[in-house]
Amino acid sequence: MWLTNSSIGRKLIMSITGACLILFLTFHVLMNAVAIVWPTAYNTICQLLGANWYALVASMGLAALFVLHIVYAFILTLQNRKARGNDRYNVTTLPPHVEWSSNNMLVLGIVVVAFLVVHMIQFWAKMQLVEALSHDPATWALVDGAAANPAMGTLFIHAAFSEVWTPIVYIIGFVALWFHMNHGFWSMFQTAGWNNDTWLPRLKKVACWWTTIVVGLFTIQAVWFTIQAKSGEYLNNPELQKQYFESCVEVLQHDQEAFQGKMMDIQLSEATEDVKMQQVQDLQREIEAKTMVLTNAIKVFCKDLPQVKALIKQEEQQAAMQNEVVEPEIESEPDSDLDSEVNEVEPQN
């Protein structure tokens, strides 16, 4: 095929995939802006773009674009080096019309891909991938020691940007992205034939402005997220705590409904009573484990809500009462006063 066998065809594929990726980056930076001005709305968007079939299809399409862009970048680089042979080693200075980024697009691309891998590990792998593989809260990634709902993106912003190295890695990635995107933006139009003396200078200016705005916004967002994460805003914000609570309760209710349905299936099955009893016990242990995970998440992420404060206080009181009962049993010769105190507590239990 002409698109895959000719140099111009390969460059055209690079241009088309590059244009799609630029559009995605523009959408992504606008979505991140929502996290700054309206964090709860950002979580709603994350929930909408979770493990739904259309979001998964879009993710696979985006991944295919990245793979095509990277593969053809390597093919074109190898093709250019083969065509130039040893002549490339004789060049000590660049001609005035050749940009530095033009001769280093592959290196810049590798840096951008490395940054992308870090970004995906911190977010996509803990959010959409987890949702797609399992609905079990036990599989959720931990944030501050508690399982974080994959739909609550602000929790993963907190986890990522609480790390000292995160903004450093991101800014390095953004610098490489600026050079790579700036050159790629106007060169894709040049490949399409817009390379005359009138339009090419205009396209270079548009590329510079567009790239600077997008990458500049990404950088500002990284700094803002770092400040907010360090201050604990994503854990202490009352509106976010309400949203975390509602998301955990929703999952808990869904699990309870599923539990009731499975219990009904067990009762209606033709298994023996012993088998049914074992299945019921296994199911009860499963739902208890899920409930414990969600309850712990609520106590960590929603600790300032009145109902959660009451729950924590109640558990502390129960733990204190149990300690009062247990402590005299540990002592070899308890005092008579302690014996009477235990006797007073036991009827209340």
pLDDT digits (tens, 9 = 90+) for 99-136: 666 667 778 888 988 999 999 999 999 998 998 888 88
pLDDT, residue 76, reads 73
Do the beta carbons of residue 241 and residue 305 sit within 8 Å?
A: yes
Residue 334 has pLDDT above 60, yes or no: no
Do the beta carbons of residue 7 and residue 76 sit within 8 Å?
A: yes
Instruction: Provide mean pLDDT across the span 66-77.
Output: 78
Q: Quick one: tokens of 104?
A: 């280093």
Q: What CA–CA distance (Å, rounded) separates 305 from 313? A: 12
Do the beta carbons of residue 184 and residue 105 sit within 8 Å?
A: yes
pLDDT per residue as tens digits for the range 252-273: 999 889 889 999 998 888 888 8
pLDDT, residue 32, reads 94
pLDDT per residue as tens digits for the range 20-40: 888 889 999 999 999 999 999
146-147 and 142-143 strand pairing: antiparallel
Q: Quick one: tokens of 134?
A: 């399992």
Residue 71 has pLDDT above 50, yes or no: yes
Residue 94 has pLDDT above 60, yes or no: no
144 CB burial (10 A radius; 0-12, 13-18, 19+): middle
> Within a 10 A sphere around the Cβ of 6, how many other Cβ atoms?
11
pLDDT per residue as tens digits for the range 158-199: 999 999 999 999 999 999 999 888 877 777 777 666 666 777
Burial code of 269-306, b = ≥16 C-beta within 10 A, e = fewer? eeeeeeeeeebeeebeebbeebeebbbebbebbbeebe
pLDDT, residue 314, reads 87
